[in-house]
Amino acid sequence: MGYILSIIPLVSFSQKDWSLKLDKEGIKVYTKNLDDSPYKAIKTVCIIDASLSKLTAVLLDISRGTDWVYATKKCTLLKQHSPSELIYYSAIEVPWPASNRDFIVLLKAMQDEKTKVVTVEGINKPTYLPEYKNMVRIQQSYSKWVIIPLANGQVKVEYVLQADPGGNVPSWLINLFATKGPFESFRNLRKEVKKSIYSQANLPFIRN
């Protein structure tokens, strides 16, 4: 899932040059300047009490994205390719004076057989549906979740995203909200994964 912004796959998300902008409630939000974009890349890191299956199930449960993803007003499943791959549509509310945005993403989950690390990639598909009136379609986006199993029923989550939101949006306005969105989303995610609907989550492609 990508909150208000999600990037160009060629961007390098190495560990270098990240700047810590927020460290609160066990959630760390970093930003990184990019050479080819005025918009910052964002990385969020935290530890969550959940199994690999539970957290992955939440990420793939598109219909409930509005419950926890910051600024999301609509989240609709468009096509389910397999239990681990789907395409979804999301509409997001952007701070005034900018126009609201929407995006279409191919979401793919996979697990490393040896390390059990789960990766969920969000690949932009802007032409999958015609653009809607009074809504700016995000044309360039990429996001990536890395879910690392820990002891005692916990996982470490690293989420990286960046995007060009398109249209006439001052970079300072988007960058101003670069920490608020990820922080609020992760606070909500911690609550979402504890809901009873995910208590028996069991995905065929995930080994806990």
Round to whole Å and give the CA distance between 192 and 176. Answer: 26
Rg (CA), the chain: 16
Could you read off the pLDDT of 17-54 as tens digits, one per residue? 899 999 999 999 999 888 777 778 899 999 999 999 99
Q: What is the pLDDT confidence band of residue 100, given thresholds at 50, 70 and 90?
A: confident
Specify whether the CB–CB gap between 7 and 163 falls below 8 A. Answer: yes
What beta strand segments (E) does the chain contain? 19-24, 27-34, 37-49, 72-82, 85-92, 101-111, 118-124, 136-137, 140-149, 154-164
- 169-178 average pLDDT score: 69
Tell me the C-alpha distance between 177 and 70, whole Å.
11
DSSP 3-state assignment of 163? strand
What is the reported pTM? 0.89
- Asked if 161 contacts 144 with a C-beta cutoff of 8 angstroms, the reply is yes
Q: Please, what are the domains in the chain? A: 19-198 (3.30.530.20)
